[in-house]
Structure formats: structure tokens, C-alpha cells
Structure 1
Amino acid sequence: MKTSSITRGLAPAALAAAALVAPAQPALAAEPDILPAGVGCADFNLGISSTGGKLQTREFVDRNGNVVRIITAGKGVLLTYTNYGSDPDNPEAGESITFRTDGSVSHTVVNPDGSRTVTATGHNGIVMFPTDIPAGPSTTQYLGRVVYTISTEGVWTLVSSSGTATDVCAALAG
């Protein structure tokens, strides 16, 4: 199966809830999520939107009914990042970059302490916030394999990546 994901366009609590969504959720065209300057990219508001695609999420539980593993896969999307300028009160769409994501699979292990370890393969967009390790703001579109952890406090730590990485902020800064 193939899917696409943009990770971190939402607050950590919302992402955790989104990871537990029922299977077969369609990804519909919507207004872009706009991250303020200093969150997704250092110098400008970053818009993130997707069209198409269809995701399936499966949860696996232990004998006590606790979720121990989550797999998300499905059909890819068109993923667009847009530079919305530096004015937080009046974001205006500027240059955009679009990726045709032919899919990805995200495998999440829920660790005994409640933290999560995510291995994402294929096409994945990851936004690192200033509170993460390494500290953002940064937005990277990967084609390959990315491993990261999410602490119980919502801090993301990039463990490793291989394959192609596109620095979205640098691509849109021009």
C-alpha cells in the first residue's frame, strides 16, 4: 500500500489523536494549515495543504488492550508548501512547491514509558519545532527512511534519515 504524510502540521496532542483516527480517512482538499514564522520556517509563514489520497490506520494491542503499535498506509497525495510572507496578521500566498507523493508507510511503536518511536518510509514531510531535537524551525520533505521519537511531553527527536531530503524553507525562501 502507498500513502503520504506530512508530520507536524498540528500540535503534538492533535497529532497523537490523528494517529488514532479510524481507518480509511480520505484526504480532501482543504484550506492550508499556516504555521507562523518561527515555527515551520524561520523567516516566513508556511502554508501546508494536501489533495487526494486515502489513508488507513491499524492499531495493534497487547493482551491488556493497550495500543502497542500503529501502522498507517494508503494512497499518496499532492502535497503543497507555500511561502505566506512574514506578516502574521496578513499572510499572502507567494511561491509554492508541490510534491507528488507516491506513498509512504508509517510504523509507530508505543514504548512502555508512553513515548513513541516512528519509522516512516517513502514520501514524508516533517516539521521540526524550536523545542525539538535538533531544534527547528525546519520543514523537510523526505523520500526514503526517517526515524524519530516523540516524548511524552511532545518533543520530537530526529534519530536518523536516509534517502533524499529537500529543505522546504530554503526552496521557498527565494
Structure 2
Amino acid sequence: MAQKNGRRIAAIAAAVALGIVAIPSPASAADFEFVVPAGQVCSFELKVTGTGGSAVEREFTNPKTGTVRTLTAGRGSDLTFTNTSTGATFSLKGNGSVSSTIVGPDGGGTVRSTGHNVILMFPTDVPAGPSTTLYVGQVVYETDAQSNFTILSSSGRTTDICGQLS
């Protein structure tokens, strides 16, 4: 249970960093910091710190079923990733991204993100983590109600952030 709760916290914090969570529109993201244990999103303990950023979110609803789609656009937070074992850091300036989510009946959905997006993959994801990747271009993935991700496709450039910190 602790792993699932930690997973949700990390997923939420990562989403805030990217401006892809429900934030009152328009809004600025609060500064944040979280640490993910070794073996979860990198082979080592990873600290993620974010500052700034803003996003606008629109929600599309069906009177019978509730939210059916969300559209989020904005500039993500400036991010610093730290390998806590070595002190090595990798920083990214906040850039633009747009995410469209088709919400599924189980609370999960299919997300199409374009621009600059960082995705943290855990051992329960597909492909299985640990991995932390910057996608510049487009990435499409599914998420279930427990925040497990399945990458469906990507195009553009990728950067292995764990590799940058090893």
C-alpha cells in the first residue's frame, strides 16, 4: 500500500510540474519537492524539485457520465532532478505542453501530450520502469485508476534523465 500511495504522490507531483493537473485557470503551480525511492523511477533515489509554471485546464462533461475529456495547456515548472547518492543534477527550464485526456469509465484514460513532457515509469507500468524520460514531441499513454501507465506511442526526441544522472 505504501508503494501505491507513494506512486500516486509522485504522479501528482510530476503532473503539477508539467502543468497537466486540474489547477484553477489560469494559475501558477506551487513550488514543490519530492523524493522517489531507489528502484522506482531510477535505479537510485531521485529527488525532483520544481518552481514556477502555469496552466489552463478545460473540462468537457456529459450530464449523464460526468467528465469525458480534459484539455490542459501551459508552461511547466523549471525542474531539477537530483541523484541523491552522488549529488549529480539535471535541470530543465519550464517549456510548453498541451495534454488532451479522454477519460475512461474506470477513472483512467488515454492521454495525448505534445511539447515537453517528463514521464516517470514505475515497475508496475508498461514498459516496466524504473525510468524517467523527457519527451519532446508527442507521447500517447493510457493510465488506469491506480495511476499505472502504459506508453502507446511516441515521436520526436527523448532524453533518459536517469542516464544523465548516472
**Which category of TM-score, normalised to the shorter sequence, fits these structures?**
0.7 to 0.9
Q: Quick check: 1:26 aligned with 2:28?
A: yes
In structure 1, what is the equivalent of residue 150 of structure 2?
157
The superposition leaves residues 6-30 of structure 1 with CA deviations (integer Å, 9 ceiling, x where unpaired) of xxx9517973x97344333312333
RCO higher in structure (CA 8 A, sep ≥6): 1
Query: Quick one: distance in 1 between partners of 2:151 and 2:76?
Result: 23
Trace 1:55-74 onto structure 2 (pairs within 5 A).
55-64=55-64, 66-74=66-74
Answer 1 or 2: which has greater helix percent. Answer: 2
Trace 1:10-89 onto structure 2 (pairs within 5 A).
11=8, 15=12, 19-30=21-32, 32-42=33-43, 44-64=44-64, 66-85=66-85
- The answer to whether the Cα contact below 8 Å between 1:12 and 1:154 also exists between their aligned partners in 2 is no
CA positional deviation for 1:111: 2.2
Uncovered stretches (5+) of structure 2, i.e. residues with no partner: 1-5
Q: TM-score scaled by structure 2? A: 0.83
Matching residue's letter, 1:36: P
Query: Quick one: distance in 2 between partners of 1:119 and 1:113?
Result: 18
Matching residue's letter, 2:27: Q
SS of structure 2 residue aligned to 1:169: helix
In structure 2, what is the equivalent of residue 167 of structure 1?
160
Q: TM-score scaled by structure 1? A: 0.79
Trace 1:107-126 onto structure 2 (pairs within 5 A).
107-126=100-119
Q: Which residue of 116, 128, 139 maps to 2:132?
A: 139
- The answer to whether the Cα contact below 8 Å between 1:13 and 1:154 also exists between their aligned partners in 2 is no
Uncovered stretches (5+) of structure 1, i.e. residues with no partner: 1-8, 86-92
In structure 2, what is the equivalent of residue 128 of structure 1?
121
